Amino acid sequence: MIKFTTFGLLFFLALSIPVGIVLFLLAFGIDTFYSPFPLMRGLGQVVWSSSNSATLIAIPFFVLLGEILVRCGVATRTYAALNKWVSWLPGGLIHANIATATLFSATSGSSVATAATVATVAMPQAEKLNYDPRLFSGAIAAGGTLGILIPPSINLIVYGFLTESSIPQLFLAGLLPGILMALGFMLATVILCMIKPSLGGPRQLYSISEKLSSLGDLLPILGLFGVIVGTIYAGWATPTEAAAVGVAMALVIAAQQRALNMELLLQSLRGAIRTTSMVMLVVVGAYVLNYVLTAAGVSRALQTLLRGLDMTPLATLFVIILIYIVLGFFIETLSLMVATIPIIVPIIVDLGYDKIWFGILMIILVEMALITPPVGLNLYVVQSARKSGKFSDVMVGCIPYALIMLLMVGMLIVVPQLALYLPSTL
Amino acid sequence: MMRVIDLLKRINDGVALMAGLSLLACVTLILVEIVVRQLGMPLGGTDEISGYVMAITTSWGVAYALTERAHVRIDLLRTKCLPVGKALMDCVAILALAGTAITVAWRGWPVLSKTLATGAKANTALETPLWIPQVLWWSGWVWFAVSAILIAAASLLLLYQRRYDDVNEIAGMGDEL
Amino acid sequence: AEELSVVGSWSGLPLHKQYEAPFWTDKVSKATDGEITATLTTHDQMGIGGGDVFRMLGDGVFDVGMTVADYAVSDSVALESLDVPLLAMDADTAKKMVEAARPMVDEIYEKVFNAKVLGIAPYPPQVVFCNAEIKSLNDLKGKKIRASGRMTAKLLDALGAESVNVSFGEVSGALQRGVVDCAVTGAGSGYSAGWWEVSTHLLPIPLGGWDPVVTAVNMDKWKSLSATAQEKLQTAVTTELEAPAWESAQGALQNDIACLTGEGECKGGESHKMVWVKATDADTKMARDVLIKDVLPDWAKRAGGDWAQRWNDSVGKVVGVEIPK
Ligand code: NA
Ligand code: NA
């Protein structure tokens, strides 16, 4: 049954059947061949109950918010402002890419959206200033992944939803590792560009007054982050409600930028429904597959297998991390999470690890999956914004940042407090 | 045939806008709830309504994502194929999708029919009669199935006519974004 | 031998671990001389909502289902009357109420869920955890309270509190940040979920009722069993699942309170220091008055038919309560 599931998954995916549909097909297959229950009689009930969720509505809200911000021109201005502050470092504009990605991560729930935003505003500059495309685009693809680690985060919402852990706690837990990782990305850039200056571009120096006058352009994004996170931790709103507040605030920002019109609103709504439905087909499919896997005993079989290895908790953890890295090459991230959480998290909890902590660890591994070929959505997003050049440029450019991610995983294992300190102060 | 699919696209665009507007309505409702809660007079029930909006938005939105070719597909093998191979894979994919959509719509009916039979109401103080959100939810999946069947039929016809570019146009892969 | 597929109640709670699991994996086969065996999973492990269990049972997805009756009141308003809060202050009375309600429950399950009820066992009573200073039941007025179940929500609203829906996993954070002031749940679940860390006051009266867990078998499956198998299975459930669960119910509550408040002996765990708020008789009487004057008549109206009369004649007699016409 495990073989059937694995091969079926790879085979259907290779056929280019939509990922969400593949999950349904596997569920049908397992039900037909292996299940002692006539599970499909309950299919409708599972589909209804999994999508009837006030927690998940935060997904369209955060997507909508991002759509509005990109379309109203805030992204471009933020990039220009950050450029003035950070591109004196060795590596130049590459730091602006990372900083913009970090800042947008604080308002966007999705890594793909973050990478797309930064790529749209940064790519024209790269060509103008004649940057080495590799590190430049790698920094966008990798920086964009921070979108799901720094709150708000759609993936953390899904993790909290599936493991019944507190979403505000998960959000807080992601903040410090997110900032550390952004700093790590910049440090790696500085080191690489000091060793080999041709990897970066010209360092750009701006006067203090230029820097100060650009600060105004950062206000919308910082304000938005403050409102979203502030309402949650002031106890005024749940994460879902904060997302709704964020949407309203984004509309206010668009109006203040004099960009709010019917066209912008309708385009943003279309974009939000498109992305949300795409994500939700995968989430619902994963929910159905999980229902079938558990009922048919696959999850228990896998758990027994892992427990039967009879290793120390740390060794088991390493095996699990390895599994995620390998699966991360091939599987789209949300599917990767929803398909594995119900199996892996109970084992992790059994081993005595913290659920919130593991959520953050898993998110970093999922971020890595976003920039590892062949299935790495952020690679494609950046490549499609480049319009020319080799795909492998982006891939190679991501390698140093992927190493920083591994380093971060190691640091989290050694110092769990990096994730757990902030939630404990709540 | 292409005209039917064009019409379908336009209808689904309307569907997306309706779904989007219901999201905005939900945003408004939540904002009102937050404000009146601070004033000590909560409405209650916004969570419950948000859940219904999510279920309904999802079930109707999947059809829009379908005509927009937005559902994620892995194109590792597909990119290496000739146009005829691509068109074949697109047909396989849309047939699988149509089959799934039909199954979900078919298996979704008992949920609604049981609710109608028992007069089920939400297990909350609001006591929403569940048939209302479930009718809207179920009809979304039915529409998804209808859209998928139309696109599948059109794709097979176009494949038979060897119009591979047109197959790609209606059932291929959109931009990665 | 007949192998039944069984879906149990919450896998993490004592009712499942101590009674359901040993019963279905081991005892049932012995008690029926090997005629009936079972494969066991639980609804949470299966990833289905509590409210879906009996619907799926009726559709024949599995053979035996066990879950809190309150989760199923969506499909039957009448079923709310199985778990009326505040009427039973101890396990003995709760048991008598459930026994009196049994014919009504049997009928509801047969008609609505196409299922035969085998037994009803209790969860520990649903008590109130507050992260706000309360001195009496009266102080709940104006507070935001997380309720579980429709009748409890209605009662809280009638008492002047505001009932809100928060999923179990979010309660802890919601209490801490003041999104809710109080939350109703089983004393034991609150203890194991660490609510003592985020709340200060404990009001251990069954404001959320006793949350009876119904064990039912799909009717078609039931009819397919031989008469002797039916009898053996029924006897086994009654004597080896239902009875022991009830026997330990009272003791479990006292132990949970001791562990949460540090008053009394806490067996099998660490004890904590929540403030034990003792409800006065006047308090309880006031709440019961609200229940009888407002909440139950409202239920009678919603349930329609002769359900109120039947409740008066059965459960009402046991606890000395009559729903006014
Ligand atoms: Na984010
Ligand atoms: Na990957």
Q: Any CB–CB contact under 8 A between B118 and chain C?
A: yes
The pLDDT value recorded for residue B174 is 67
* Nearest CB to C74 within list B44, B122, B125: B122
**Position with higher pLDDT, C270 vs A375:** C270
Q: Would you state the structure tokens that stand for residue C92, as one six-digit string?
A: 């003995």
Q: Could you read off the pLDDT of A128-153 as tens digits, one per residue?
A: 777 888 999 999 999 999 999 998 88
d(CA A156, CA B164): 41
pLDDT of A372 higher than 80? yes
The pLDDT value recorded for residue A173 is 95
Q: Could you read off the pLDDT of A23-33 as tens digits, one per residue?
A: 899 999 989 98
The pLDDT value recorded for residue B29 is 95
pLDDT of A1 higher than 80? no
First and final C-alpha spacing in chain A: 44
Which has the closest alpha carbon to C90: C239, C245, C254, C213? C254
Q: Could you read off the pLDDT of B82-127 as tens digits, one per residue?
A: 899 999 999 999 999 999 999 999 999 999 999 999 889 887 778 8
Backbone angle region of B99, left / alpha / beta, with phi > 0 → left and psi within -120 to 50 → alpha: alpha
- Any domain includes B174: no
Give me the half-sphere count of Cα atoms (radius 13 Å) on the Cβ side of residue A269: 21
Burial of B38 (0-12, 13-18, 19+ CB in 10 A): exposed
Range of the domain at B8: 1-169
- Any domain includes B177: no
The proportion of chain A whose per-residue pLDDT surpasses 70, expressed as a percent, equals 99
The C-alpha R_g of chain C, in whole angstroms, comes to 19
Backbone angles phi, psi at C66, to 5 degrees: -135, 120
pLDDT of B35 higher than 80? yes
Beta carbons within 10 angstroms of residue C303's beta carbon: 18
Burial of A352 (0-12, 13-18, 19+ CB in 10 A): exposed
**Position with higher pLDDT, A55 vs C256:** C256
Q: Give the containing element (helix H, strand E) for C218.
A: strand C213-218
Q: Any CB–CB contact under 8 A between B125 and chain C?
A: yes
Question: ipTM of the assembly?
Answer: 0.88
Q: How confident is the model at residue B176 (pLDDT cuts 50, 70, 90)?
A: very low
Contact (CB<8Å) B125/C150: yes
The pLDDT value recorded for residue B156 is 96
Mean pLDDT of all residues in chain A? 88
Q: How far is CA A275 from the centre of its chain?
A: 14
Contact (CB<8Å) B125/C163: yes
* Nearest CB to B17 within list A48, A266, A281: A266
Is the previous residue joined to A152 through a cis bond, with omega within 30 degrees of 0? yes
d(CA C300, CA C229): 38
Beta strands (DSSP E) in C16-63 are: 36-42
Q: Provide, as residue numbers in chain A, all residues whose Cβ is less than 8 Å from the Cβ of B37.
A: 236
Which has the closest alpha carbon to B133: B35, B23, B26, B49? B49
Length of chain A: 426
Closest Cα in chain C, distance from residue A263 (Å): 37
Give residues whose Cβ lies within 5 Å of ion ligand 2.
Answer: A 328-329, 369, 372, 375-376
d(CA B151, CA A213): 54
- Edge-to-edge strands, sheet with C2-8: C36-42, C2-8, C64-68, C213-218, C115-121
Contact (CB<8Å) B123/C59: no
Burial of A305 (0-12, 13-18, 19+ CB in 10 A): exposed
H-helix segments, A215-297: 219-233, 239-256, 262-295
* Nearest CB to C165 within list B121, B124, B127: B124
Q: Which of A103-107, A297-301, B157-161, C138-142 has the lowest mean pLDDT?
A: A297-301
Touching chains, B (3+ CB pairs < 8 A): A, C
- Any domain includes B140: yes
Backbone angle region of A390, left / alpha / beta, with phi > 0 → left and psi within -120 to 50 → alpha: beta
pLDDT of A426 higher than 80? no
CB A70 within 8 Å of CB A112: no
| C127 beta partners | C185
CB C275 within 8 Å of CB C202: yes
Backbone angles phi, psi at C217, to 5 degrees: -120, 140
Which has the closest alpha carbon to C97: C212, C206, C187, C208? C212
Tally of domains within chain A: 1
Q: Provide, as residue numbers in chain C, all residues whose Cβ is less than 8 Å from the Cβ of A172.
A: none
| β pairing state of C201-203 and C275-276 | parallel
Beta carbons within 10 angstroms of residue C251's beta carbon: 11
CB A297 within 8 Å of CB A30: no
- Any domain includes B175: no
Contact (CB<8Å) C49/A49: yes
Contacts of residue A82, Cβ cutoff 8 Å, sequence gap at least 6:
A96, A99, A100, A103, A218
Contacts of residue A364, Cβ cutoff 8 Å, sequence gap at least 6:
A149, A177, A181, A405, A408, A409, A412
Closest Cα in chain A, distance from residue C27 (Å): 22
CB B110 within 8 Å of CB C59: yes
| β pairing state of C213-218 and C64-68 | antiparallel
Contacts of residue A18, Cβ cutoff 8 Å, sequence gap at least 6:
A281, B71, B72, B73, B93, B96, B97
d(CA A231, CA A247): 13
* Closest residue, chain C, to A55 (C-alpha): C167
Contacts of residue A390, Cβ cutoff 8 Å, sequence gap at least 6:
none
Range of the domain at A250: 2-424
d(CA A75, CA C324): 65
Residue-wise pLDDT tens for chain C (325 aa)? 788 999 998 877 788 888 999 999 999 999 998 899 998 888 877 778 888 999 999 999 999 999 989 888 889 999 999 989 989 888 899 999 999 999 999 999 999 999 999 999 988 788 899 998 998 888 888 888 998 778 898 899 888 888 887 777 668 777 876 778 999 988 888 887 788 888 999 998 888 888 899 999 999 999 999 999 999 999 999 999 999 999 888 888 888 899 999 988 888 778 889 999 988 888 888 889 999 999 999 999 999 889 999 999 999 999 999 998 7
Q: How far is CA C73 from the centre of its chain?
A: 12
What SS3 state is found at B44? coil
CB C72 within 8 Å of CB C113: yes
C-alpha distances (whole Å) from C282 to each of B150, C72, C137, C288 are 69, 33, 10, 10
Contact (CB<8Å) C163/B118: no
- Its sign, for the CA torsion B149, B154, B157, B158, is negative
* pTM of structure: 0.86
The pLDDT value recorded for residue B177 is 33
- Its sign, for the CA torsion A250, A251, A252, A258, is positive
Which has the closest alpha carbon to A170: C48, C185, C45, C169? C169
Q: Would you state the structure tokens that stand for residue A339, as one six-digit string?
A: 């398909």
Q: Supply angle C-alpha C159, C163, C166, rounded to 5.
A: 155
Which has the closest alpha carbon to B131: B145, B107, B111? B111
- DSSP character for C202? E
Dihedral of CA atoms C68, C73, C79, C84 in degrees, nearest 10, equals 70
Q: How far is CA A343 from the centre of its chain?
A: 21
Contacts of residue C252, Cβ cutoff 8 Å, sequence gap at least 6:
C14, C124, C188
| Residue type at C96 in one-letter notation | K
d(CA A423, CA A361): 15
DSSP characters over C122-186? PPPPEEEEESS--SSGGGGTT-EEE--SHHHHHHHHHTT-EEE---HHHHHHHHHHTS-SEEEEE
Beta carbons within 10 angstroms of residue C62's beta carbon: 27
Q: Any CB–CB contact under 8 A between C49 and chain A?
A: yes
Tally of domains within chain B: 1
Q: How far is CA B52 from the centre of its chain?
A: 14
Contacts of residue A289, Cβ cutoff 8 Å, sequence gap at least 6:
A23, A24, A26, A27, A339
| C186 beta partners | C126
Backbone angles phi, psi at C6, to 5 degrees: -120, 130
d(CA A316, CA A123): 42
Q: Provide, as residue numbers in chain A, all residues whose Cβ is less than 8 Å from the Cβ of C167.
A: 55, 164
